[in-house]
Structure 1
Amino acid sequence: MRVHNKSTIHTNRSQLSVAITRVILGATLATLSLQGMAQSSDQLEEVVVTGSYAKSLEKAIDIKRNSIGFSDSIVATDIADFPEQNLAEALQRMPGVTIERNKGLGSKVNVRSLPSEFTHVSINNLSTASGSGGRDVEFDIFASEIIQSVTVKKSPTAADEEGGIAGSVLISTARPFDYNESKFVVSAEGAHNSISDEIDPKVSLLASDTFGDFGALVSFSMAERTNRTDSNSGINFRPLSRWTEKTGSSKWQADQTVAVLERDTGVVITDRFNKDVTNRVVFHDKIGDRAYLNEQDKWGATAAFQYQPSSTFSLAFDAMLGGYDNTEDEYDAAAYTASSISALETVHAYDNTTLAKHGILVLTDVSYAATQHEFLSKENVHETDFTQYSLNMDWEIGGWLIEGLAGYSGAEKTSDTSNLKHVAFAPSRSRYTNNGGETLLSANPNSFDMYNSPQKYLFDSYEVNLEEIQDDKYAAQLDFIKPLELNFLSALDQVQFGARYTDKSKERDRGTTTVRGPKAGDNSWRNVRTLQDSELTPISELVPGGNYLSQSSNSPSWSQVSNSYARDTFRYDGFKVDFADSEYYRVDEEVVSLYAMADFKFDLAAMPVMVNTGVRTVDTSVLSFGYHQIQNANGSTGYTPTPISKEGSYTDVLPSINMNMELRDGLILRAAASETLMRLALGDIAYKRTVSLNDFKYRDGNPDLKPTYADQWELGLEWYVGEGALFAASYFEKKIEGVVRESLTGVVKDVTKYNANGTIDGVYDFEIYQKVNAEGDYDVSGVELIAQFPLSMLHESLDGFGINANYTMLDNSLTGESDLDIPAPPEGLADETYNLTFYYENEKFDARVSYNYKDKYVEYIASDMYPVYRDAYGQTDLSLGYQVTENIKVMLEGINMTDEETSAYTIDPSFPSMYEFSGRRISLGVRADF
């Protein structure tokens, strides 16, 4: 068993970092020891809004109006009263905010249509750990009920920990002195999914009270979710170079492929090794019919203990705990047309016009010589534990306001994924359909019914992958704020300065064990045991809800091995997964930040003006390490006996300015400019090498990567009409530098590549790719519009009705990473998003209908060449509530009421790659508020 000791690896810790940490913590403790000097006074003003959606919108407007920069907020009522399955879905109704969905569940947050990794997330002013390999936060692990408020900050100040190129999501949990009286809230609901036909429970509660100078609050939420998704997917492009480069005994594949292409399409390939030509002739990689069953158990809890003897002193301890267990069963009946022993047999149809500007010929209907038909039973078990603790102090003494923070955020994620694979090689015919693809019998007499011939499928392997990720972050911050009244400079209202130290570490271990027999090292099942030898279950019984929702003309139905049977049968006694040196990495990052800023208030031609300006210096050191590949004396490849480390560092100076001017009562001109950065995905800077056999590539981490920077400015006009009404428009521009791209940095010659059955596929030159900072800069600009108003402004008969709408449009010069230089925006960037909510409420009844739209965006670059787009998606949600008594409310909520499908395509909609249904979700609940 490997044991990694941070104290032996991380030996170059910055002395400056240690010194500043001691100063910060020492000052914090010294300050806390003087807490008895604080004078008593009245409690702080209550900030929580409950019970009315319209009033929650008014509170959010107040927060926006009083902010120095551009921001938008939602508060507890808005979060609680809308139908959502997690925190990500609660945020999607905010201006400029959209979400990425995974099988019907919101998972990641995009701000202003920019990729999710451009957004910085913090909870209670502490940057949040994640169980992913990057810095993006997995919002699906957080229950929305334990959140008090969320602010999306779109223009940073110098005091912020990070600005985020897209923005910062600031999440706050509740504290006892947020309420001016004791509070107890409990809710319960049951939700029904239209495809799985299951009913899922969810319960939550919050209890808070104050006892003189002390207060305590606890909240808890627990939910189960069972969701079925039927998908016709995995239909990506595969370049003809898959076969044209075959040599030796496999050269017949290249010869036959080139000959059939010329015979049936007239296209002549003169140089079979010219990738610029062969990569532009593409066919189906795989066509799969897939049924998913996703089962989630999620819980979250917060605790807050607050000591507040006066309005001048507050000490708060916040704890946030959570667990998210996600088990997904995936059952595939797939035809892998690009199998290693196949070739073209007949091209029935092709498209040489749709993608002609890229020089791409698409073979849309083809018979293949030896398709690898696959039945795959996949089980993906993910368990995430989240922990966060923070101690916050606010102390006003001697005309100074001192704020202190010390905290920890951590996430542990364990993933156990398995794949039981049975294969049968035979001729087949595959073609595109309107929404995906289908596999049929070909004219070859050896072709067979792939769905109903279990005796023809041979056991290939049962592969189990185990991954463990540990993500830890420690932080300490101390801020000093001094309000001023200077006769010689009356405009200077306040100065503020401070320091922050963070220590972040992410460690990943991963290993694979492949079973091919009843015990370790035994391969006796391979190519002997058939699919028929295992217990088979119809697909309509493997997942609840009945028949598979096929999108192909042959309406397949099939039987295969359940994941529970596979786990019991193929994980023999003594089965284990050892971690592989090649998969290990760890990244340690230390950041020391110092900042200073000033607030100015003055009148310009009788118009009140507020200005915040400041500068932040950031000193970052990175220590990245992993086991590195070496050449052994016998010519084989291996890895170093201990991790090899490499350091990286960078220092930045980040200025910012925010201002607003009240042109007249309620009409505010707002402006902001700043330089900000987004730090790198830790997996990209990890000092390691991984291999992608199908792509003939090695991928190396790069500890020398620098962050992505943005120079940005924004100008907006906001009109606060009263009665909870707001009309706003803003224009923003961002010049982004240092965008991270994957680049060819070397070649490893004469690499022997093996097939799954152990035979030699061939000897190839493998390219080495590494993430680098691209040269030059890219421009992103956009417009954001907000209209939020009660319809009683138009006519008194519309009292109780209202609209909350926002729209974001983006224009950009960013391009994706296609090796064929196919122009496309970066992954995750959409040109247009909007949210529209109609609501009505009175003392007894409230209703809301919300529509959220996100334009198409690049989901990934297949084979690093062909952009795959997630199609534009719009979803309608519904919420109805009835106040039975003063304290009890009944709610009926619906998600995806029009049962929209999720689809994707490669480069052009003519070539669909995925079409999936996750169904609608209806819930009935009750909430008691005392």
Structure 2
Amino acid sequence: MKKLVHPSLFNRTQLSRFALVSSALLSPLAFGQADDGIFELEAYTVDGIRGSITKAQEIKRYSPEFVDAISAEDIGKFPDQNLAESLQRISGVTITRNRGEGQNVSVRGLPSDFTRVQFNGHTLPSPNGSRSFDFTIIPSAFISGLEVYKSPAADLEEGGISATVKVVTPRPIDVGKRLFSATVSGVNEENSGSTDPKVSFLFSDVFSEGKFGFTFGAHYDKRSLETHQFQAFGAELGNESSRGPTPQIDYNLDGDFEDSVRFNHATNYAAAPETRERKTFLATGQWRPSEETDFWIETMMSEFDVEGELPLNSFRWTNIRGEVTDSNIVASPMTGDSADGFADYLEVDGVDWRSNSRQNSYTDDLLTVAIGGNREMGDWVIEAEASFSDSERLQTNLAHATIGRAHASYDVRDDIGAIPAIRYASGFDPADATAFRGIGVNGNLDRAIRDENTDFRIDVDRDLDIGFLGDTSLSKLEFGAKYSTREQFSGARRLSVSGQAVANLLGEAFDPSIEGGSYDASRFMVLNTPSDFFGGYDGPINFPTSYLASNTSALFEEVTLDQLIEAGSISEGGPGQYTVDEDVTAVYVKLNFEDAQKNLSGNFGIRYVTTDQTSSGFFPDVSTLSFNQGGAVTNVESSNSSMSRSYSEILPSFNMKYYISDDVLLRFAAARVMSRPSLSILSPATSYNVNVRSISSSNPFVEPFLADQFDLSLEWYHGDAGLFTISPFVKKIDSFIVSATNKEQVSYFDETEGVQKTAEFTRFQPDNGAGSDLFGFEVAWTRPLDFIAEGLGFQANYTAVTADDVQASEDGPFLPITGLSENSYNIVTYYENDKLGLRLSYNYRDDFIVSNASYFGDGEFTEAYSQLDLSADYKLNENVTLFLEGLNLTEETLSQVNSFGLLRNLEDNGRRLVFGVRAKL
């Protein structure tokens, strides 16, 4: 039986769930347009790649707003193993990765904090200090679909100045039948050579003639990975007469101590193993006692455990207990000042050889619960929901600090953008463990981070038929309110155990005259020889592929943590600790309109938002500032302070869609949008780092980001799953939050030498800078190629974005926007038949700025990155499918440089293969 309906009669949630849940049905429904302009529902089969594309296009076509979507191919079968990696296939969407896995999402060139992510309509917190959502926490097996709203409506929660991403899971009565999906797979990591399990299942059923249903899902996965890293801090400017604990160093060997030279602050090599385990549970109950009434309760729990080590082969070229034996100084390309030079080659006798191994472990716990319902009463529909979400992290990272003195050199003369060549002087033995001294244990101990969010909302719809303009009428009135309260706490708890205390526990002789006090650490030094070290690097430079590093685990086998705690000191609070409370009240009203022919439709409305903010943190007493060179630890006493503020905004919005013909439509949208600053920068806290001579201050009085945006789109829907779109857009952002920098003279006590010192520090503090106009366009083309081969097709999209530079202060320089990639594109080719499905995906993102200043004013820039992925599946029968997914097939590396091309970071995560079997009933 067919039911005639027009998509404008659905609200946003109903349309989303209708189209997304169809992925679970054997014969889902689709919209077709009848002669009278009313859309009728027709049955056809939509599972598989082509079906997923078709469902996503339905959401885009019939939504009043600018929406791009990704739908599951089938129950428990999302296109990618990671949700962020799926989202990057959408035009205008780029991602950042953590250990090779998609983590945060950016849209149209703006930072990830500008993207609002909602899980079934409510906010999920994340224990990272930002507002950007960590997509590694949710397994894709539970997800029906993703929607990216690039233009807002009044009922869409504020916060997404670039976009709002909605993550949707299926509800049982919407599915309407018993369904079961299970996946068992193995995950192979190339760098570590390990293969680990990944298992998930999802079950949904209905009872009592479809009036009651539940969905339950469980997921477990493990990754034993190994990241090959080169890390640096940029080019530090040092004066020969004052830099470092050695009073004078003649860097350019010209016989005086009057020159200023830029050189690598430090060079670190590491093969960092890490084990990640994730356990997630999803449960949904739904009760629909009548066609007019619906209730639901949804919950998800997730635990993410990480255990890792970072055994470093580290040289700190700023800490020298000897002399420069050879160097090559060239004109500094960053400053252009002939008085400064850059050391592209530096050989030093007595350089700080900091081969520590730092253990890092943390557990992220996430709980979210939502209870809601709706009721239809004639022309009225009332929906209400309450939700609570809590995210907590408990983190410990302890290092057995060791130090040696090497006669070594770094060399970037051939290519400053390559990994520095590290060489040891003739006769120096880098495998001599007796060269290392222990100087203590330090690091975070059970540091807690907590983020809680509670939402209450009510939405009311009323069908209308009121004449408006000409043959256009107002078809629906929507209004509602939402109250949210959020609290983020970031704690600070640090353990410090002196070298003498550790020596006493180990029974080692302590010598106060060596490295400010130390003991023999040779028995804890281990030779690290990672296989295929930096296999993804294809440059010309040779570097050490095996190295000594302390084994912190071996220390803990001899000395318990309780003993270390008793012998050391635990500091809590201080500049690293803050609390931010945020209460938000929003009300909105929205009117939908359409013409008599159903060709013109849209909505307009206003959202009014009030934000009450209280923040507290610790402010340091600079007179107590001290520095321990051995552990590179900064110490300072501090006191707590608290500040409050409130602000309100009016956010109007307008969305319009017009059918030029049955298959071609034109969209236009205009809106005032807002995003709030990251929670981590809203405290009054300030911290000092003597090692890199920086001051990091937060600012509770920065204003939110506000922008006026305009969107236009021409969309041509053709054939079976064919779509071509071109979408120009403009965002006129009133004010950016920028990292303002100032130079300050700071005095501190050097604990290693026992003297007071004064040096120039750089203060970094967020502040409201000038605004920027952002212009761009998206082009997307999806085309089946059945005329070449049945089941063949492709998807391609390209996004170009440009933005005015932002002025950090009234007289300051104009600087590019951080996080903005001017060009990005995706190309996906797929093929499927009754048995086989193949998809090859290529993703590219331009370079972008991480920081215009960074530690030493030389900036931090991420270079362009591309990745090639493959997925394939083969149906053994209607219920069982074998699959294979290959990620980063060409073994690309992530790299960052400074403003004149000096390599700062290089990360090689290797290839990742996922292979397994999926079953459904």
> Is TM-score (shorter-chain normalized) higher than 0.5?
yes
Shift of 1:827: 2.9
Instruction: Select which of 556, 561, 579 maps to 2:550.
Output: 561
| 1:313-324 alignment runs, 5 A limit | 313-324=293-304
2:646 equivalent to 1:649: yes
Q: Structure 1 205/702 Cα, relative in aligned 2: closer, same or farther at 3 Å?
A: same
Q: Could you list the runs of 5+ residues in structure 2 that have no partner in the other structure?
A: 1-16, 25-46, 627-634
2:607 equivalent to 1:616: yes
Shift of 1:76: 2.0
Instruction: Select which of 82, 86, 95 maps to 1:99.
Output: 95
Q: Deviation per CA, 1:603-650: give whole Å up to 9, x if none.
A: 6xx78111211111111011111233358999997433xx43210111
2:811 equivalent to 1:855: no
Please name the residue that 1:592 is paired with: 585
Please name the residue that 2:230 is paired with: 232
Distance in 2 (CA, whole Å) between partners of 1:79 and 1:808 is 31
Distance in 2 (CA, whole Å) between partners of 1:120 and 1:356 is 42
2:436 equivalent to 1:461: no
Shift of 1:350: 2.7
Q: Tell me, yes or no, if the aligned pair for 1:350 and 1:365 is still in contact at 8 Å.
A: no
Q: Tell me, yes or no, if the aligned pair for 2:49 and 2:73 is still in contact at 8 Å.
A: yes
Shift of 1:761: 6.4
Please name the residue that 2:834 is paired with: 843
Please name the residue that 2:719 is paired with: 722
Distance in 1 (CA, whole Å) between partners of 2:468 and 2:156 is 30
Q: Deviation per CA, 1:41-81: give whole Å up to 9, x if none.
A: xx978833154111011000000001111111111228965
Shift of 1:177: 1.7
Shift of 1:572: 4.6
Please name the residue that 2:698 is paired with: 701
2:461 equivalent to 1:481: yes
Instruction: Select which of 762, 765, 773 maps to 1:770.
Output: 765
- Give the secondary structure class of the aligned counterpart of 2:878: coil
Distance in 1 (CA, whole Å) between partners of 2:878 and 2:673 is 48
- Give the secondary structure class of the aligned counterpart of 2:465: coil
Which residue type is aligned with residue 760 of structure 1? V
2:344 equivalent to 1:364: yes
Which residue type is aligned with residue 680 of structure 1? P
Q: Tell me, yes or no, if the aligned pair for 1:784 and 1:807 is still in contact at 8 Å.
A: yes
Shift of 1:556: 3.5
Q: Which of 519-528 and 168-177 deviates more?
A: 519-528
Which residue type is aligned with residue 777 of structure 1? G
Please name the residue that 1:806 is paired with: 797
Q: Deviation per CA, 1:463-499: give whole Å up to 9, x if none.
A: 1213211100111011111110125775111111111
Q: Structure 1 383/148 Cα, relative in aligned 2: closer, same or farther at 3 Å?
A: same
| 1:119-268 alignment runs, 5 A limit | 119-212=115-208, 213-234=211-232, 236-241=234-239, 243-246=240-243, 251-253=247-249, 256-257=250-251, 260=253
Please name the residue that 1:533 is paired with: 522
Distance in 1 (CA, whole Å) between partners of 2:112 and 2:757 is 39
Q: Tell me, yes or no, if the aligned pair for 1:221 and 1:301 is still in contact at 8 Å.
A: yes
Instruction: Select which of 863, 868, 889 maps to 1:897.
Output: 889
Residues paired across the two proteins, number: 852
Q: Tell me, yes or no, if the aligned pair for 1:614 and 1:656 is still in contact at 8 Å.
A: yes
2:408 equivalent to 1:409: no
2:907 equivalent to 1:916: yes
Please name the residue that 1:4 is paired with: none
Q: Which of 585-594 and 105-114 deviates more?
A: 105-114
Which residue type is aligned with residue 900 of structure 1? E
Shift of 1:250: 5.4
Instruction: Select which of 579, 583, 590 maps to 2:576.
Output: 583
Q: Structure 1 78/537 Cα, relative in aligned 2: closer, same or farther at 3 Å?
A: farther
Which residue type is aligned with residue 451 of structure 2? D
Which residue type is aligned with residue 431 of structure 2? N
- Give the secondary structure class of the aligned counterpart of 2:133: coil
Q: Structure 1 695/913 Cα, relative in aligned 2: closer, same or farther at 3 Å?
A: closer
Please name the residue that 2:39 is paired with: none
Distance in 1 (CA, whole Å) between partners of 2:707 and 2:103 is 25
Instruction: Select which of 479, 485, 509 maps to 1:503.
Output: 485
Distance in 1 (CA, whole Å) between partners of 2:283 and 2:461 is 28
Q: Tell me, yes or no, if the aligned pair for 1:714 and 1:730 is still in contact at 8 Å.
A: yes
Instruction: Select which of 753, 759, 769 maps to 2:754.
Output: 759
Shift of 1:903: 2.0
Q: Structure 1 187/293 Cα, relative in aligned 2: closer, same or farther at 3 Å?
A: same
Q: Percent identity?
A: 26
Q: Which of 298-307 and 392-401 deviates more?
A: 392-401
Q: Structure 1 761/662 Cα, relative in aligned 2: closer, same or farther at 3 Å?
A: farther
| 1:649-668 alignment runs, 5 A limit | 649-668=646-665
Please name the residue that 1:448 is paired with: 428
Instruction: Select which of 280, 303, 320 maps to 1:300.
Output: 280
Shift of 1:112: 1.9
- Give the secondary structure class of the aligned counterpart of 2:106: strand
- Give the secondary structure class of the aligned counterpart of 1:93: coil
- Give the secondary structure class of the aligned counterpart of 2:555: helix
Normalised TM-score (structure 1): 0.86
Q: Which has the higher helix share?
A: 1
- Give the secondary structure class of the aligned counterpart of 1:534: helix
Q: Structure 1 644/728 Cα, relative in aligned 2: closer, same or farther at 3 Å?
A: same
Which residue type is aligned with residue 408 of structure 1? F
Please name the residue that 1:602 is paired with: 595
Q: Which has the higher strand share?
A: 2
Q: Tell me, yes or no, if the aligned pair for 1:816 and 1:827 is still in contact at 8 Å.
A: no
- Give the secondary structure class of the aligned counterpart of 2:54: helix
Q: Structure 1 812/400 Cα, relative in aligned 2: closer, same or farther at 3 Å?
A: same
Please name the residue that 2:315 is paired with: 335
Please name the residue that 1:927 is paired with: 918
Distance in 2 (CA, whole Å) between partners of 1:887 and 1:457 is 60
| 1:421-440 alignment runs, 5 A limit | 421-432=401-412, 434=415, 435-440=418-423
Please name the residue that 1:10 is paired with: none
Distance in 1 (CA, whole Å) between partners of 2:592 and 2:625 is 68
| 1:507-526 alignment runs, 5 A limit | 507-517=489-499, 519=501, 525=510
Normalised TM-score (structure 2): 0.86
Shift of 1:211: 0.8
Distance in 1 (CA, whole Å) between partners of 2:808 and 2:915 is 46
Which residue type is aligned with residue 546 of structure 2? S
Q: Could you list the runs of 5+ residues in structure 1 that have no partner in the other structure?
A: 1-42, 273-277
Distance in 2 (CA, whole Å) between partners of 1:246 and 1:351 is 19
Shift of 1:309: 2.6
Distance in 2 (CA, whole Å) between partners of 1:685 and 1:419 is 30
Shift of 1:237: 1.5
Please name the residue that 1:639 is paired with: 638
- Give the secondary structure class of the aligned counterpart of 2:73: helix
- Give the secondary structure class of the aligned counterpart of 1:129: coil
Instruction: Select which of 52, 66, 73 maps to 1:56.
Output: 52
Shift of 1:113: 2.7
Which residue type is aligned with residue 223 of structure 1? D
Q: Which of 421-430 and 381-390 deviates more?
A: 421-430
Distance in 2 (CA, whole Å) between partners of 1:569 and 1:518 is 16
Instruction: Select which of 869, 875, 878 maps to 1:886.
Output: 878
Shift of 1:850: 0.7
Shift of 1:824: 5.5
Shift of 1:388: 0.6
Q: Structure 1 637/356 Cα, relative in aligned 2: closer, same or farther at 3 Å?
A: closer
Which residue type is aligned with residue 436 of structure 1? I
Distance in 2 (CA, whole Å) between partners of 1:362 and 1:633 is 34
Please name the residue that 2:777 is paired with: 783
Distance in 1 (CA, whole Å) between partners of 2:602 and 2:373 is 26
Q: Tell me, yes or no, if the aligned pair for 1:791 and 1:799 is still in contact at 8 Å.
A: yes
Distance in 1 (CA, whole Å) between partners of 2:746 and 2:820 is 39
